[in-house]
């Protein structure tokens, strides 16, 4: 159960005074549904309202808080004209200006003949001094409260700073004083305040320095979040180790047959990764290992050998991919090699229905098929294996932890291998996959040539089309990537459908189209036509980003390359250069480029090392955007910035490890406070692990 001291923070934001359903929905969009989410919604700027001049001294362009006498309301003949309220003090006259004003409201809050305090930006209009739509209007009693440094929060359409600011202050009033979960030596060394003081301080910055991620208050809160995450991951890892696994030690017979049938020699890092996986599979503990390999580094073959190791002991293996295209790609790679070794393989996606699906389920349940390849369909309730021993999950960041565990739950003591072709920076690695052991594939298969990458301004698009035409005459297969499916009125981007129509007009039926809104059958048909059929120029959106393997494709054009993230550009580029032929990637950009976009394109020209690119991507974009954590099931960092707080992450990891060795069940005084910390950051599942472990 969540500790009672935190109950107030986990009420909905609509339980706060003045937050009705409409404002509540907007706050949920920008911050989250609970009061605690407002605590984590930190200011992005400040407005200094301490300047309080007389009218004659007021400087144009500054924010001022002023005491004025209300002289007269000047209501316009129609609402399209501004409503003006004339005010004065003993030094001069000024106007308060309102557009689309409600006169009743203004007469109530600015009654003629009374003194009021107004705060807003001073402007000069001709000879007249004015404030348009003052931010605050109040009585003399409120002067000192108004003359302060006011935090500015990230907003969303329809939500003003005033209601959000009030809600945040109400949330902070409910924040309790909590005990200390940080190691006392670290607390002293960093000179950090208590959690409660850090929270209040972070929400009341006085300068830009106070809002820097390295400021004392923000660094403390970032460490709290990182520590919660690292303790949660360490508990999950410990739990995995306590759950009894099985030893899978094959005799090598099937593995040898696979290796004999490979058209290439395994690289040194493939052999090393496979040895690490086999060593894990041979123990009585359950394996939880991440196989991280750059685009085209040969993860699937390593995964196949791991499957053979399990199958040699009589067990079955399953590999789950996030999309049908990728699942079919795995089938195309794995099935011929498995067949040559006498091992049956089948595919299960959402498209298999009726008798065909029944036959697949029967073959898995009776054990006649040893390898299942599929999508989310694999972990549906009615899918049962005779003896699942190894579950492989590809493109792990597309799945949540619970999906990983659901698939593993379909067998007894199942070993888990997860794979990703998205190179992950070391700091993000520790945050996202700290519960796993890691193997890395660092080499490209022999014979692969690096892809030549060039940047071209959109003004030279006609030259690009001409070059594509010349390449098509030599029998080359070409990808042309566009960022949107259809024209958006707001963003003038080249749409895949429009580009398809234009290029089909030039090159005829050799042009195909694939995008995310096509039905699965239509996507497969488009890819098949590009692989084997009449299509040589494929117009595509980012659905081709992961896993599609067409060795004859040696040219890629990426339109509006400045709109893509670095990792995504690298993934897309990885679709070419998959043979011994020279390949070229043309990054077509639209200027003027921001500094970040310029840096991205420069790195793409200079490097094809996915791990270097991932580190640069983290530096340029920050972790939240890097893997799209909201969509990925990864814990989303609200307070920590991994590009800045890498050192704190390392400290949190070490602290979590050392502390849990001493107090694995969090029973000591500090352990109890760490339990509170886990609940505070919504790591409840880690506490459940503690109990079930």
SS3 for 618-657 is HHHHCHHHHCCHHHHCCCCCCCCCCCCCHHHHHHHHHHHH
Q: Are 613 and 383 in contact (CB under 8 A)?
A: no
59 and 28 part of one domain? no
Q: What is residue 636's predicted lDDT score, i.e. its pLDDT?
A: 59
Mean pLDDT for 95-113 is 94
Q: What is residue 402's predicted lDDT score, i.e. its pLDDT?
A: 58
In angstroms, rounded to a whole number, what is the distance separating the alpha carbons of residues 307 and 310?
Answer: 5
Please give the model's pTM, rounded to 2 decimal places.
0.68
563 and 486 part of one domain? yes
Selection from 252, 256, 250, 183 nearest residue 220 by Cα: 183
Domain that holds residue 505: 452-607
Higher pLDDT pick, 226 / 621:
226
591 — pLDDT class (breaks 50, 70, 90): confident
pLDDT one-digit tens code per residue, 31-88: 999 999 999 999 999 999 999 999 999 999 999 999 999 999 999 988 889 999 999 9
Higher pLDDT pick, 73 / 610:
73
Answer yes or no: is 671 within a domain.
no
In angstroms, rounded to a whole number, what is the distance separating the alpha carbons of residues 131 and 94?
Answer: 8
Answer yes or no: is 602 within a domain.
yes
Parallel, antiparallel or unpaired: strands 83-89 and 63-74: antiparallel
Answer yes or no: is 679 within a domain.
no
363 and 402 part of one domain? yes
In angstroms, rounded to a whole number, what is the distance separating the alpha carbons of residues 347 and 318?
Answer: 10
Last residue of some domain: 559, 584, 607?
A: 607
Q: What is residue 381's predicted lDDT score, i.e. its pLDDT?
A: 84
175 and 120 part of one domain? no
Last residue of some domain: 588, 607, 626?
A: 607
Give the CATH number, domain containing residue 101: 2.40.50.140
Lowest mean pLDDT among 300-304, 402-406, 531-535, 673-677: 402-406
39 and 62 part of one domain? no
Q: What is residue 432's predicted lDDT score, i.e. its pLDDT?
A: 63
Answer yes or no: is pLDDT of 572 > 90: no
Which positions ≥6 away from 48 have C-beta within 8 Å? Answer: 63, 149, 150
> Average pLDDT of the chain?
87
Q: Are 412 and 387 in contact (CB under 8 A)?
A: yes
Q: What is residue 490's predicted lDDT score, i.e. its pLDDT?
A: 40
280 and 295 part of one domain? yes
Answer yes or no: is 567 within a domain.
yes
485 and 523 part of one domain? yes
Give the CATH number, domain containing residue 275: 3.40.50.300
Q: What is residue 151's predicted lDDT score, i.e. its pLDDT?
A: 94
Q: What is residue 634's predicted lDDT score, i.e. its pLDDT?
A: 43
398 and 504 part of one domain? no
Domain count for the chain: 4
Q: Given the structure tokens 């595919």, which residue do they identify? A: 347
Answer yes or no: is pLDDT of 430 > 80: no
Q: C-alpha angle 288/642/209, rounded to 5°? A: 160
598 and 527 part of one domain? yes
Which positions ≥6 away from 17 have C-beta within 8 Å? Answer: 170
Q: What is residue 693's predicted lDDT score, i.e. its pLDDT?
A: 35
Selection from 145, 155, 165 nearest residue 19 by Cα: 165
104 and 27 part of one domain? no
Lowest mean pLDDT among 116-130, 299-313, 482-496, 587-601: 482-496
Answer yes or no: is 662 within a domain.
no
Answer yes or no: is 158 within a domain.
no
Last residue of some domain: 587, 607, 627?
A: 607
Which positions ≥6 away from 248 have C-beta within 8 Å? Answer: 281, 282, 309, 310, 313, 315, 389, 390, 415
39 and 60 part of one domain? no
Q: Which two tokens stand for residue 74?
A: 């000047």
Answer yes or no: is 661 within a domain.
no
Parallel, antiparallel or unpaired: strands 477-481 and 537-540: parallel
315 and 424 part of one domain? yes
Answer yes or no: is 659 within a domain.
no
């Amino acid at each position: 159960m969540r500790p009672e001291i935190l109950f107030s923070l986990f009420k909905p934001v609509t339980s706060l005074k003045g937050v009705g359903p409409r404002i509540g929905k907007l706050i949920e969009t920008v911050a989250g549904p609970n009061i605690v989410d407002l605590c984590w919604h930190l200011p992005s700027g400040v407005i200094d309202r301490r300047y309080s001049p007389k009218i004659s001294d007021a400087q144009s362009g500054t924010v001022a808080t002023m005491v004025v006498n209300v002289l007269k309301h000047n209501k316009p003949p129609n609402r399209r004209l501004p409503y003006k309220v004339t005010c004065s003090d003993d030094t001069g006259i000024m106007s308060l200006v309102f557009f689309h004003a409600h006169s009743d409201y203004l007469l109530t809050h600015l009654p003629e003949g009374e003194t009021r305090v107004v705060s807003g930006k001073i402007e000069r209009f001709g000879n007249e001094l004015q404030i348009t739509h003052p931010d605050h209007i109040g009585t003399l009693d409120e002067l000192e409260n108004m003359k302060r440094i006011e935090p500015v929060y990230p907003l969303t359409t329809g939500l003003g700073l005033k209601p959000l600011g009030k809600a945040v202050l109400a949330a902070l009033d409910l924040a309790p004083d909590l005990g200390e979960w940080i190691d006392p030596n670290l607390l002293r060394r960093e000179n950090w305040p208590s959690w409660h003081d850090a929270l209040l301080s972070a929400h009341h910055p006085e300068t830009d320095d106070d809002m820097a991620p390295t400021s004392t208050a923000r660094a403390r809160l970032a460490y709290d979040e990182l520590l919660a995450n690292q303790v949660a991951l360490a508990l999950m890892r410990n739990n995995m180790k306590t759950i009894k696994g099985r030893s899978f030690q094959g005799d090598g017979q099937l593995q040898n047959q696979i290796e004999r049938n490979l058209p290439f020699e395994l690289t040194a890092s493939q052999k090393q990764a496979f040895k690490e996986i086999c060593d894990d599979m041979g123990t009585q503990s359950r394996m939880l290992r991440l196989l991280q390999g750059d685009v085209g580094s040969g993860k699937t073959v390593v995964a196949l050998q791991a499957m053979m190791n399990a199958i040699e002991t009589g067990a079955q293996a399953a590999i789950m991919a996030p999309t049908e295209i990728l699942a079919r790609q795995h089938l195309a790679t794995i099935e011929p090699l498995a067949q040559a070794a006498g091992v049956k393989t089948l595919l299960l996606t959402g498209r298999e229905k009726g008798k065909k699906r029944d036959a697949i389920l029967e073959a898995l349940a009776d054990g006649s098929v040893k390898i299942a390849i599929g999508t989310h369909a694999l972990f549906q309730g009615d899918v049962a294996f005779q003896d699942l021993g190894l579950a492989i999950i590809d493109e792990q960041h597309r799945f949540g932890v619970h999906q990983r565990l659901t698939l593993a739950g379909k067998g007894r003591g199942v070993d888990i291998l997860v794979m990703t072709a998205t190179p992950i920076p070391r700091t993000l690695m520790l945050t996202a996959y700290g519960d796993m052991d890691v193997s890395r594939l660092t080499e490209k298969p022999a014979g692969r040539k690096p892809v030549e990458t060039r940047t071209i301004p959109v003004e030279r698009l006609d030259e690009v089309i001409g070059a594509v035409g010349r390449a098509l005459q030599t029998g080359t297969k070409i990808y042309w990537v566009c960022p949107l499916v259809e024209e958006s009125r707001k963003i003038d981007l080249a749409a895949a459908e429009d580009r398809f129509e234009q290029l089909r007009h030039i090159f005829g039926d050799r042009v195909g189209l694939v995008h995310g809104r096509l039905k699965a059958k239509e996507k497969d048909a488009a890819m098949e036509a590009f692989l084997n059929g009449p299509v040589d120029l494929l117009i595509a959106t980012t659905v081709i980003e992961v896993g599609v393997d067409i060795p004859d494709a040696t040219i890629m054009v990426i339109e509006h390359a400045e709109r893509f993230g670095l990792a995504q550009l690298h993934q897309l580029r990885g679709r070419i250069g998959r043979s011994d032929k020279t390949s070229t990637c043309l990054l077509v950009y639209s200027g003027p480029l921001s500094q970040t976009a310029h840096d991205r394109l420069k790195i793409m020209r200079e490097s094809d090392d996915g791990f270097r690119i991932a580190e640069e991507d983290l530096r340029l974009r920050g972790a939240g955007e890097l893997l799209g954590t909201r969509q990925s099931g990864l814990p989303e960092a609200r307070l920590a910035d991994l590009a800045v707080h890498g050192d704190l992450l390392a400290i949190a990891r070490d602290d979590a490890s050392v502390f849990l060795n001493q107090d694995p069940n969090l029973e000591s005084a500090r352990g109890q406070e760490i339990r509170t910390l886990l609940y505070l950051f919504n790591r409840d599942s880690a506490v459940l692990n503690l109990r079930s472990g």
